[in-house]
Amino acid sequence: MASSLRSILSHAGALFSQIAGSLQPASDIRPFYEPLSTAPSCPLEGPLSCHNSTPITGDSCCFVSPGGRILLTQFWDQQAHVGGAEEDWTLHGLWPDLCDGTYDQFCRMTPHFNNITAVLEHYGQHELLQFMNRYWLAASGPNSRLWQHEFNKHATCINTLSPACYGELHSPGVEVVDYFTRASALFRILDTYTALKKAGIVPHARRHYPLVDIQAALQRFSGGRVVLRCLGSRSSVKDILHEAWYVYFVKGSLQTGEFVPAQDLGREGDAGNCAPWVRYLPKRRHVSSDDL
C-alpha cells in the first residue's frame, strides 16, 4: 500500500517562512529542494514580490515580477487514485498571479515544453517523478498532460525561470526541473488534511461545515490567506469542497527564494466560490485489480 503524505513530511524542505507549528522544526527536516547549480543566486534581504514602491532597477532575476503573487493550489479529488490516498489532497499547480490578483497565461518568459517526463528523466529526477505520479494527478488522461499544461500555462509567466537568468551555463530544461521541484517542495509542507482534522473538520457524507471555520483552520496552519473553491451539488449552489489555494509572495527568485505567506488577496484575488456551509465528502475508495 502506498504511503500517505503525512508519512513523508519528514522530507519537506525548510525553505519557507512561517511554517505551521504542527510540523517538525526546520532543523529536523532534511531539505527536499536543492536548486540546480546554475539557478540564480540572490541576496538574502532582497525585496518581497509585489511590495516594491519603485521599479526594480537591479537584478530582475532576483525579483519575481509581474506575477509576484504565487498560489500553491490543491485538489480534494472525489476518488482515491491509489490505495492509501483516502486522506490525501493532491497538487494542482503553482501559479504566478499578478499583484492585483489577476493573471497572465501562456507567456514566453521561458520556453514551452511538451515532454515534461522526458526532461525530468534526463536530469535524473526519478524520485520527483515518482512523487508527482502519486500526488500531481490529472482528473482524466495521463498525468504528463496535466504537467505540460501547468508548465506552459503558468511557469512560462515566471520571469526568474527565463533562460537568461541561468547565464551562460543554461541547459534546456533546467527551468522545468526547478518549477516542478519547487512546487512539490511547497506542497509537501502544506498537509491540508491534517490541518483540517486538527480543527475537527473531517470528511463526512452528510455533515455540513461553516466555510469560515475551514478557511480559518487553513489560514492558521499556513500563516497566510487561503482561497477555497467548491463544486456544486445543484447548479446554483457550490457546496462541495474541492480546492484550496495557498497564497504567497516571494523574496528572491522562484528557484531559491523565500516564500512568505500573503496577508491579502489583492483587489481581484478572492476567487472563492463556495456557499457559506459546505460538505467535505469522503473519497470513493480506490479499487485495484487485487480487489476484483
Which residues carry out catalysis? 92, 150, 154
C-alpha cell at 123: 536530469
User: Roughly what angle, to the nearest 10 degrees, separates helices 126-135 and 174-188?
Assistant: 50
Number of H helices, E strands in the chain: 6, 7
What φ, ψ does residue 114 adopt, rounded to 5°? -115, 10
Q: How far apart (Å, rounded) are the C-alpha atoms in residues 86 and 102?
A: 33
Q: How far apart (Å, rounded) are the C-alpha atoms in residues 17 and 25?
A: 12
What φ, ψ does residue 243 adopt, rounded to 5°? -140, 150
C-alpha cell at 224: 497566510
Contacts of 206 (CB under 8 A, 6+ apart): 279
Q: How far apart (Å, rounded) are the C-alpha atoms in residues 70 and 218?
A: 17
- Give the dihedral of Cα atoms 50, 243, 186, 282; nearest 10 deg: 160
- Contact, 269 vs 83, CB < 8 A? no
DSSP run (H or E) holding 227: strand 226-234
For the chain, helix, strand, coil in percent to 5 are 30, 20, 50
Closest CA to 69 of 248, 222, 216, 276: 248
C-alpha cell at 193: 488534511
